[in-house]
Amino acid sequence: MKKSNKVTILWEDEDLLVAVKPFGMPTRPDKSGDPSLQAHLEQTTGAPLFVLHHLDRPAAGLIAFARSGAVAGRLSAQLQQGKWQKTYLAFVEKNCALSPRGRLTHRLVRDGAVNKSFVRDDGKISKLEYEVLKEFDHYMLLRIHLLSGRHHQIRAQFGAIGCPVKGDWKYGAKRGNRDRSIHLLAHTLTIPGYPLLQAPIPTDDPLWALAAPTLEH
């Protein structure tokens, strides 16, 4: 495991690089001009990298990069075929009744003008499964498995039922986090032929630190 400027590289070989994106860092270069994970890693490794999937800027966690176009094509095909396994952790506001385990299904439409997804009858079917790991006074800690890959899917679906991700004012949170992050972590990733990779819990945050003992079991 290598760390550089708060970026942790969990896996690196001739085909694949998997790193932990910090909260607030864009995955790819964008119009903000802020340093992106892709640009940082390309500078660190001295070679071009191909982004295989995306993670919202205010969230943190695992992002995989291919080291060639050919590998990107092969791994992207696996991803589209549902052969990758990804889990997320999120703290959501405790405003709605959730069963210990469940599934959410909505139709989502992306509006690029405001960079937000909305629940609409003409939207694309969006499904996820969740498990409530622990309840606190004002928040619930969830483990989430996406069954489809839509823009802002976790954020939009939990916002739609009145339990937005902590800090996610865009989808209905009572208040934003001071650093503009949201409490959403891309936690584990399994790619065929590779070991399970797991992002560390960001225990410098008090709420994540409270959750850490639960996640160690």
CB within 8 Å of 182: residues ≥ 6 apart: 23, 56, 58, 59, 155, 165, 166, 167, 168, 173
**Which residue has tokens 């079917």?**
125
Average pLDDT, the chain: 93
Q: Could you write out the DSSP letters of every residue in 94-115?
A: S-S---SEEEEEEEEEEETTTT
Element (H, E) at 189: strand 184-190
**Model confidence over 190-211: pLDDT tens digits?**
999 999 999 999 989 999 998 8
pLDDT band per the 50, 70, 90 thresholds, residue 4? very low
Half-sphere exposure in the Cβ direction for 89 (13 Å, CA): 22
- Please name the amino acid found at residue 111: D
pLDDT band per the 50, 70, 90 thresholds, residue 5? low
Output the pTM of the full model: 0.94
Domain boundaries, the chain: 2-215
- CATH says 2-215 is which class? alpha beta
So what's the pLDDT on residue 127?
Answer: 96
Is 156 a residue whose pLDDT tops 50? yes
